[in-house]
Chain A
């Protein structure tokens, strides 16, 4: 094999420590030309650290990095860009105060001088049209005004725009986490076209099906090491899960029918733009799914229900306290300056009060209870919330909602960017809590998650277009309803 010549990037024995934690423990990794490498592993397995190294944003503490066979002694972001290596990071990295064209300019030093604004707009518009036809995004839109899904589309498209620097390797870290099935499909087929034209790609995703279908080769990481690497054909879903470890014990218990008596009415809600008589009804102990393409009114309805809990609202009836688990956890969920314990306790302040003040002891007890129960991996709950990995941050937000007095829990696509192990743990917890009588309203962009629901409302254009029971629930049915060819 002429490996040395066709390698785009190769790391040998890469190591990285953060304090006492070994994030990477001697990793060998390479990407060849015209190859799509899938990278999977639990949150905290070291995938992101490894990708930061390839992108030049982190320096390895040990080991070598070579690009196209040349050792790189002082590798940096600027050097990586020069060599045609780019990364779409998991945390969105657009400037919310700038327009889409201006955000494009940030990645292209060449977009300067007279007429740069028009050239930047043309560049990003053409790429968006190519990857996501009918994207509905204008180059003049301010990034902060766009929904999280559209921001992700812009960010992906931006990584593929070309000016002066070459483009050989694009790292996509959870590129579909905020996209609905349709746009995710558009993106993945573009990635295939890019790879077939000779480009290379690293695809990180917690949606294992995506990786299995689109990667040529799959690398599995666990605890800062590569534990398996082989052609994608050699893997199937179960093998991948087994290689990632930690989730073997969980099997899909969701499908087993939970025969429950219909409980007391908890929520009855009609979307603001509903014209027929359809409405959402949720009873005690039920898990209700909200499905359909992203941004078709699911979040709006959840927010309407949330506000109806404190102030009466026409068309919505809520009979018990409500808690919301936000999907866009960076902007809507987390108090970034606070500790993990404070982030969990904020929804339960009344319970934590001692006289006029918050009792630190009770706050710590609550936090400790949920640390055990939901498995938040941290040495100290008084650490800042950002010391946690993304999946564990999301667990803390679940703990906030489940630790409160809320009988109704609204979930706004909370699992984006969360690894499969964490997901399975949370699914179990949701079912357990539902069995105790709590009601869950669960908006999700991942069809698999709907298996956990008792029944599912499909949304289109801000309206409920279908109400599917557990037995009639299939992916085709949901897609059919979302696109409006099902009556």
Chain B
């Protein structure tokens, strides 16, 4: 009889349960978005040290705020095991409304934007009640938003409302505005989704919907709330985008669909199971915004190849994530 076998409390399981490993892998996965952002930043600092400055960040992260907002929007539907393929054209539609009606007839503009959030809520209800695949519904909606955007603004143009321009050109002391905005977005969404008691219900609807229903919660309501939040953050994203670019174009947001999905996954989220991270999603969006063009420009990659190089970076980072997730199993 070995001495270490004598003392065992009944019911105590061995210490090295798979729990410990899983927790470590989760920590690693939680750190991955921060690590990949740090990696991209180090590469930029090495290629062009002057870029790491107040002015440099303002310039490089110019478009990070709308990307971060669109990523957060996508994260809400992913938290409920759905996917929104229309977020890109929706951002474009919001942009067109912002650059025309919101400036010329603010009341109509506000109503249209609130109405579009309402449409998102209805889509959530439709998807839940008819048990439709969200990919199909939102793919269809992406053409609807695109068509509406072209109706609102047939040719590129329009102008952002002045108040929006002044918000987006705000220059706080010491901290570049995009970084400050990213911190605020991440903090608010993290609190709302990860810390509040209803946020638990929203995430639980992605984790085990049947369990939620048995506990007496309305899945219709959770789905509507998640889609409405996506609509809300899509509207914010479109407005932020126009505040930066000052004028709109019906196709301005088309790339955001895939960027937002990649940002969520890069940020440690998963397509199913209600596992998402708001902080990770914002970090993922920042990483993508930096890797998208500043990094590649500093690497002297010709613009023709930048899209492909961007894809290669995505594959590398996402592959690293898969490798880490696999250790969790």
Residues of A near any B CB (own CB < 8 A) = 55, 57, 76-78, 81, 87, 89, 91, 93-98, 102-103, 105-107, 109, 111-113, 116-117, 132-136, 141-142, 144-147, 150, 182-183, 186, 275-276, 293-297, 460-463, 465, 483-484, 487
* Residues on the A chain within 8 Å of B203, using CB: 95, 97-98, 102
Contacting A at CB under 8 A, from B169-217, are: 195, 197-198, 200-201, 203-204, 206-208, 210-217
* Residues on the B chain within 8 Å of A296, using CB: 13-14
* Residues on the B chain within 8 Å of A186, using CB: 11
Q: Which of A77, A132, A133, A135 contacts B215 (CB 8 A)?
A: A77
Contact, CB under 8 Å: B11 / A97: no
Whether B6 sits at the interface, judged by CB under 8 Å, is: yes
* Residues on the A chain within 8 Å of B10, using CB: 134, 182, 483
Contact, CB under 8 Å: A93 / B208: yes
Contact, CB under 8 Å: B11 / A132: yes
A132 to B215, CA, bound (A): 23
A-B contact pairs, 8 of them (CB 8 A): A93-B208, A106-B200, A134-B10, A142-B23, A182-B11, A183-B11, A297-B14, A461-B8
User: B317: shortest Cβ distance to chain A, in Å?
Assistant: 22
User: B171: shortest Cβ distance to chain A, in Å?
Assistant: 36
Which partner residue on chain A sits nearest B21 by CB separation? A145
Contact, CB under 8 Å: A145 / B23: yes
Which partner residue on chain B sits nearest A165 by CB separation? B216
Whether B26 sits at the interface, judged by CB under 8 Å, is: yes
Interface majority SS (helix, strand, loop, mixed), chain A: loop
How many residues of chain B have a CB within 8 Å of chain A? 39
User: A24: shortest Cβ distance to chain B, in Å?
Assistant: 19
Which partner residue on chain B sits nearest A108 by CB separation? B215
* Residues on the A chain within 8 Å of B2, using CB: 275-276
Contact, CB under 8 Å: B19 / A102: no
Contact, CB under 8 Å: B8 / A113: no
User: A190: shortest Cβ distance to chain B, in Å?
Assistant: 13
User: B269: shortest Cβ distance to chain A, in Å?
Assistant: 11
A297 to B207, CA, bound (A): 28
User: A480: shortest Cβ distance to chain B, in Å?
Assistant: 12
Q: Which of B17, B198, B212 contacts A95 (CB 8 A)?
A: B212
Contact, CB under 8 Å: A93 / B210: yes
User: B217: shortest Cβ distance to chain A, in Å?
Assistant: 7
Whether B105 sits at the interface, judged by CB under 8 Å, is: no
Whether B18 sits at the interface, judged by CB under 8 Å, is: yes
> Given the known A-B contacts A81-B216, A89-B214, A461-B5, are A106 and B23 also in contact in the complex, defined by CB atoms under 8 Å?
no
Whether B274 sits at the interface, judged by CB under 8 Å, is: yes
Contact, CB under 8 Å: A78 / B13: no
User: A390: shortest Cβ distance to chain B, in Å?
Assistant: 15
User: A445: shortest Cβ distance to chain B, in Å?
Assistant: 13
Q: Which of B26, B214, B215 contacts A142 (CB 8 A)?
A: B26
* Residues on the B chain within 8 Å of A141, using CB: 19
Contact, CB under 8 Å: A106 / B22: no
Q: Which of A91, A95, A150, A182 contacts B204 (CB 8 A)?
A: A95
Q: Which of B8, B200, B216 contacts A105 (CB 8 A)?
A: B200
Contact, CB under 8 Å: B5 / A145: no
Q: Which of A57, A78, A97, A107 contacts B275 (CB 8 A)?
A: A97
> Given the known A-B contacts A77-B215, A484-B5, are A113 and B197 also in contact in the complex, defined by CB atoms under 8 Å?
yes
A141 to B19, CA, bound (A): 8
Contact, CB under 8 Å: A98 / B197: no
Contact, CB under 8 Å: B197 / A295: no
Contact, CB under 8 Å: B14 / A93: no
> Given the known A-B contacts A106-B217, A111-B197, A461-B5, are A95 and B207 also in contact in the complex, defined by CB atoms under 8 Å?
yes
User: A166: shortest Cβ distance to chain B, in Å?
Assistant: 15
* Residues on the B chain within 8 Å of A136, using CB: 11-13
* Residues on the A chain within 8 Å of B13, using CB: 136, 147, 150, 293-296
User: B328: shortest Cβ distance to chain A, in Å?
Assistant: 9
